[in-house]
Amino acid sequence: MPDVVRLATRASPLALWQAEHVADLLRAAHPGLEVTLVGTDTLGDRRQDVPISEIGGKGVFATEVQRLVLEDRADAAVHSAKDLPAVTGEGLALVAVPERGDPRDALVGAGLDGLAEGATVATGSQRRRVQLATLRPDLAFVELRGNMATRVGKVGTTAEGRTIDAIVVAAAALQRLGREEAIAELLAVDRLVPQVGQGALAVEVRADDAATAALLAPVEDPVARRRLDAERAFLAELGGDCDLPAGAHAAPPAADGTLAVRAVLADADEHVHRAEASGPDGVALGTDLARRLRAAVEA
């Protein structure tokens, strides 16, 4: 067994919290193990001025962290699961999904009932925008980028000539950063279907590194893994990454093991199509939901 594990992470405060969390889980599982962090400012972090879609999509957050592992400058990469493409890249293995955090989206600034007619909400996510528009067709939307602190700080400021009344971000991010008090409303997963993997972490190692994979085994939460696999099957079948106006969420399994998965996909006119399914095989459910929603969107 190795006596040191180097964890690769982005350098944002949220990413560092997540990497420290995995480091703590590893140290708890293996007393005496030395765990260090290797940080990188990814292109996605450096270019906060342009929409993510223009710099290569959500994958930009993950690629540079993965490279540290592939080049043996780190042993494992810690990611927000939702920043990963649906299919794990060549040379890497997704070996641990820790216990999941809150998958929900959160409004900061005002809750849905507190937003006046025609109020402005900032979000960089098409998934959030199209679903919020079905709940509140009167809202106006503006773009939102930047790390968590920057985003939360945009409430009350002006963008595109409008005052931002609220922003939408992942609840898990605010909770991890100790900013839970900023949450005005948590949006239930059936009203605003979360992004695939939201609130979950994912740890990758080199595909041939069985020793580090074995060290990470106790960090894995089988329930979180099962839910993530179902959601990722949806995204894999759609053939997209996090930029699609799509979301999928697998609820914690029922006592008999049945998994319930719900998903959304918007068409070119931003009409939101919804579907849900339940059964024993999460991957089959996710795949089936993607096929059904793609058929609905193309009809």
Q: Binding residues for ligand PBG, per CB under 6 A?
A: 80, 82-83, 169-170, 172-173, 198-199
Does the annotation count 291 as an active-site position? no
Residue 259 CB: number of other CB atoms within 10 A?
Answer: 24
Shortest separation between residue 295's beta carbon and ligand PBG, angstroms: 28
Shortest separation between residue 98's beta carbon and ligand PBG, angstroms: 11
Nearer to ligand PBG by Cβ, of 59 and 282: the residue is 59
Nearer to ligand PBG by Cβ, of 82 and 262: the residue is 82
Catalytic residue among 67, 136, 145, 291: 145
State the Cα–Cα distance between residues 260 and 279, nearest whole angstrom: 7
Catalytic residue among 75, 83, 165, 229: 83
Shortest separation between residue 264's beta carbon and ligand PBG, angstroms: 16
Does the annotation count 82 as an active-site position? yes
* Residue 199, Ramachandran bin (φ over 0: left; ψ between -120 and 50: alpha; else beta): left
| Residue keyed to tokens 């990722």 | 232
State the Cα–Cα distance between residues 44 and 12, nearest whole angstrom: 11
Shortest separation between residue 167's beta carbon and ligand PBG, angstroms: 9
Mark out the alpha helices in the chain (DSSP H runs). 13-29, 43-46, 59-70, 126-135, 148-152, 171-176, 210-216, 222-238, 282-298
Nearer to ligand PBG by Cβ, of 21 and 291: the residue is 21
| Residue keyed to tokens 């095989």 | 281
Compute the half-sphere exposure of residue 174: CA atoms within 13 Å on the CB side of its CA: 23
Nearer to ligand PBG by Cβ, of 30 and 262: the residue is 262
Length of the chain: 299
Does the annotation count 128 as an active-site position? yes
Nearer to ligand PBG by Cβ, of 106 and 277: the residue is 106
Catalytic residue among 6, 82, 225, 227: 82
State the Cα–Cα distance between residues 61 and 75, nearest whole angstrom: 18
Catalytic residue among 75, 154, 242, 288: 242
Does the annotation count 145 as an active-site position? yes
Does the annotation count 83 as an active-site position? yes
The helix (H) or strand (E) run that includes residue 273 is strand 272-279
Does the annotation count 105 as an active-site position? no
Does the annotation count 104 as an active-site position? no
The residues carrying an active-site annotation are: 82-83, 127-128, 145, 151, 242
